[in-house]
């Protein structure tokens, strides 16, 4: 055999062997990483937590500062104050409507007193993955957190459910995640009308929409959506969003409705995990 | 030599924390800049087209930190970055043969294609693992993410070139 041909064959053979070893090494490396995935991720969360918290707060301050440059600072403060008052009033209106429908029965769970209604664990947001609509919070299994626990804000706005739990941290899947399906009811301003039930689906990128509402149901702009507790994960009457735009097509049995969610990731500094809903 | 690898590892870690916490407050339609992707592309762009050391090292470190701070399994992003590295290197080898020099006019389109391919690979990986096409989240917000990343990538290109931050640059680089 020609020495040149022989050398070329040897070179190709070496390259093939090197490539094969590289693939095997990569496969084994990835397998080992995933076997110890929970421990590795938890360790990095613990290590990064102080810095992440600092940057989270810095980002919050910076974004508020920039917003105040664009909109006058006083308008921004007044807007925040009005949002908080508005959500408190919506909760009170729903409580009164429910009491009317049950003919005078007073339900203490619908009172606007978050502390007595459920057992809650206060958690701070430390990171946000915008591509998968997942928030990281600084409470985990060591604090009594389990998967599927609901996560809300102090104004009873629903953020999502606990998806994955580590020892000191948890990942919360927001209701805007594409995997999320949530049973809701539409609160009509006329309390004599029975509520309309539907399903809120996540659209990704912090967006949600209302689906499976019969086309002959009357939904108005600015109607409020709340949880109905039909799927058994979230308690009832947690704030979900407000109707933005309805799309009716007589050829389809259901209408699709655009919803503006009440949750705001940039205001997710203090969240509450409901720990005893199913007990 | 080892200081360079240590610095790059720490930089990837720092950028991972930054994009997950600080930059989350500056997202537009849910999209925030991906600094790790930008840094990795700069690493492989400024490395000689026929060398792979920095690219392989960067893929492992960058991919590892991308997965640590996401919901995905560990290792997926390492694989995607390695695939992209080989594709980008091949493109750079062809461009090098054609013109023998690189400018911002090569950097930006190549970076755009690289970003799009990374998003497609990432979403394809999610679909494969979850066996559900609902997880294929490639839509119009990808364009926003691309523009946002380019806003950070373009000045980074000039900073790296001006201060020769990423090793020997044997090629001439034109100013924009």
Segment A24-63, tens digit of pLDDT: 988 898 899 889 988 999 998 989 988 988 999 999 889 8
- The kind and range of the H/E element at A61 are helix A37-70
Q: Which of A70-79, A150-159, A184-193 is the most confident on average?
A: A150-159
Residue B1: predicted pLDDT: 73
Q: What are phi and psi of A76, to 5 degrees?
A: -60, -45
- Rounded Cα distance between A180 and A210, Å, is 12
Of A127, A179, A206, the CB nearest to B30: A206
Dihedral sign, Cα of residue B137, residue B138, residue B139, residue B141? positive
Q: B22, A62: Cβ pair inside 8 Å?
A: yes
Tokens of A222: 């600015």
Give the three-state DSSP class for A14.
helix
Sorted by where each begins, the domain ranges of chain A are: 181-261
Q: Which of A73-82, A163-172, A188-197 is the most confident on average?
A: A163-172
- Shortest CA gap A153–chain B (Å): 18
Of A37, A48, A163, the CB nearest to B73: A37
Q: Who contacts B92 (Cβ-Cβ below 8 Å, separation ≥6)? A: B44, B45, B49, B102, B110
Q: Is the pLDDT of residue A221 over 90?
A: no
Best of B53, B66, B71, B120 to mutate (most A CBs within 10 Å, chain A): B71
Q: What is the pLDDT of residues A97-147, one digit of tens each?
A: 755 654 443 343 334 444 456 788 888 888 888 888 999 999 999 999 999
Query: Following DSSP, what letter does each residue of B72-131 receive, concatenated?
Result: SPTTHHHHHHHHHHHHHHHHHHHHHHHHSEE-HHHHHHHHHHHHHHHHHHHHHHHHHHHT
Residue B171: predicted pLDDT: 45
A243-263 average pLDDT score: 85
B85-93 average pLDDT score: 88
> Mean pLDDT score of chain B, rounded to an integer?
82
Confidence label for A169 from pLDDT (cuts 50, 70 and 90): very high
Q: A52, B75: Cβ pair inside 8 Å?
A: no
Best of B15, B25, B140, B141 to mutate (most A CBs within 10 Å, chain A): B25
Q: Is the pLDDT of residue B100 over 80?
A: no
Q: What are phi and psi of A72, to 5 degrees?
A: -60, 140
- Rounded Cα distance between A257 and A212, Å, is 9
C-alpha dist (Å) from residue B29 to A130, A178, B33: 9, 15, 12
- CB distance A105 to A95 below 8 Å: no
Residue A168: predicted pLDDT: 92
Residue B62: predicted pLDDT: 94
Of A41, A126, A205, the CB nearest to B21: A126
Q: B17, A55: Cβ pair inside 8 Å?
A: yes
Ramachandran class of A201: left when φ > 0, alpha when ψ lies in -120 to 50, beta otherwise = beta
Residues of A in contact with B137 (CB under 8 A): 131, 178, 204
Q: Which of A226-230, A250-254, B47-51 is the most confident on average?
A: A226-230
Residues of B in contact with A162 (CB under 8 A): none
A256-268 average pLDDT score: 87
Of B70, B74, B82, the CB nearest to A132: B70
Residues of B in contact with A58 (CB under 8 A): 22
Best of B53, B74, B132 to mutate (most A CBs within 10 Å, chain A): B74
Residues of A in contact with B141 (CB under 8 A): 204-205
A5-10 average pLDDT score: 76
Residues of A in contact with B130 (CB under 8 A): 179
Confidence label for B98 from pLDDT (cuts 50, 70 and 90): low
Sorted by where each begins, the domain ranges of chain B are: 2-173
Q: What is the pLDDT of residues A193-208, one digit of tens each?
A: 778 899 999 988 889 9
Which of residues A190 and A42 earns the better pLDDT score? A42
Q: B135, A179: Cβ pair inside 8 Å?
A: yes
CA-angle at B25, arms to A86 and A124, nearest 5°: 70
Bridge partners of A196, per DSSP, are: A186
CATH pick for A181-261 out of 3.40.50.2300, 2.40.10.350, 3.90.380.10, 3.40.50.920: 2.40.10.350
- CB distance A128 to A267 below 8 Å: no
* Pairing relationship of beta strands B101-102 and B172-173 according to DSSP bridges: parallel
Tokens of A84: 């908080």
* Number of residues written out for chain A: 279
- Rounded Cα distance between A157 and A134, Å, is 16
Q: Which residue of B has its CA nearest to A62?
A: B25
Best of A130, A181, A201, A208 to mutate (most B CBs within 10 Å, chain B): A130
Residue B28: predicted pLDDT: 84
Give the three-state DSSP class for A137.
strand
Residues of A in contact with B27 (CB under 8 A): 128, 130, 265
Residues of B in contact with A164 (CB under 8 A): 71
B160-171 average pLDDT score: 60
> Mean pLDDT score of chain A, rounded to an integer?
84
Q: Who contacts A14 (Cβ-Cβ below 8 Å, separation ≥6)? A: none
Confidence label for A231 from pLDDT (cuts 50, 70 and 90): confident
Q: Who contacts A215 (Cβ-Cβ below 8 Å, separation ≥6)? A: A248, A249, A250, A252, A253, A254, A255
Ramachandran class of A178: left when φ > 0, alpha when ψ lies in -120 to 50, beta otherwise = alpha
Among A276, A39, A58, which residue's Cα sits nearest to residue A168?
A: A39
Give the three-state DSSP class for B148.
helix
Of B18, B32, B132, the CB nearest to A55: B18
Among residues of chain A, what percentage have pLDDT more than 70?
89
Residue A111: predicted pLDDT: 47
């Amino acid at each position: 055999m020609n020495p040149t041909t022989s050398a070329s064959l040897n070179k190709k053979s070496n390259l093939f062997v090197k490539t094969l070893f590289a693939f095997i090494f990569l496969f084994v490396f990835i397998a080992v990483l995933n076997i110890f995935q929970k421990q590795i991720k938890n360790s990095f969360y613990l290590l990064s937590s102080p810095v992440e918290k600092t940057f989270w707060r810095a980002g919050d301050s910076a974004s508020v500062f920039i917003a105040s440059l664009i909109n006058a600072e006083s308008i921004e403060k007044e807007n925040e104050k009005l949002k908080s008052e508005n959500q408190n009033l919506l909760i009170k209106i729903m409580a009164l409507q429910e009491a009317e429908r049950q003919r005078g029965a007073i339900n203490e769970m619908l009172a606007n007193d978050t502390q007595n209604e459920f057992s809650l664990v206060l958690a701070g947001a430390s990171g946000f993955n915008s591509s998968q609509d997942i928030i990281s919070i600084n409470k985990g299994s060591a604090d009594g957190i389990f998967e599927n626990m609901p996560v809300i804000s102090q104004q009873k706005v629903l953020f999502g459910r606990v998806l994955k739990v580590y020892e000191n941290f948890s990942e919360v899947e927001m209701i805007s995640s594409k995997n999320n399906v949530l049973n809701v009811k539409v609160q009509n301003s006329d309390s004599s009308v029975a509520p309309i039930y539907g399903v809120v689906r996540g659209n990704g990128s912090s967006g949600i929409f209302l689906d499976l509402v019969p086309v002959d149901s009357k939904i108005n702009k600015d109607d409020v959506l709340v949880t109905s507790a039909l799927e058994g994960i979230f308690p009832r009457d947690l704030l979900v969003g407000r109707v933005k735009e309805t799309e009716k097509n007589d050829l389809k049995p259901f209408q699709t409705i655009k919803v503006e969610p009440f949750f705001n990731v940039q205001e997710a500094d203090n969240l509450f995990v409901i720990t005893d809903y199913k007990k | 030599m080892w200081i360079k690898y240590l610095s790059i590892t720490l930089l990837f870690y720092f950028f991972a924390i930054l994009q997950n916490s600080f930059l989350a407050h500056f997202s537009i339609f849910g999209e925030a800049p991906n600094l790790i992707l930008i840094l990795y592309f700069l690493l492989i762009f400024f490395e000689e087209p026929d060398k792979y050391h920095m690219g392989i090292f960067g893929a492992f470190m960058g991919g590892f930190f991308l997965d640590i701070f996401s919901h995905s399994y560990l290792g997926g992003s390492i694989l995607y970055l390695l695939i992209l590295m080989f594709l980008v290197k091949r493109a750079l080898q062809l461009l090098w043969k054609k013109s023998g020099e690189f400018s911002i006019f090569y950097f930006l389109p190549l970076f755009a294609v690289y970003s799009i391919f990374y998003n497609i690979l990432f979403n394809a990986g999610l679909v494969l693992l979850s066996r559900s096409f609902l997880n294929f989240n490639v839509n119009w917000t990808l364009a926003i993410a691309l523009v946002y990343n380019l806003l950070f990538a373009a000045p980074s290109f000039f900073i790296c070139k001006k201060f020769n931050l990423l090793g020997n640059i044997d090629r001439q680089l034109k100013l924009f």
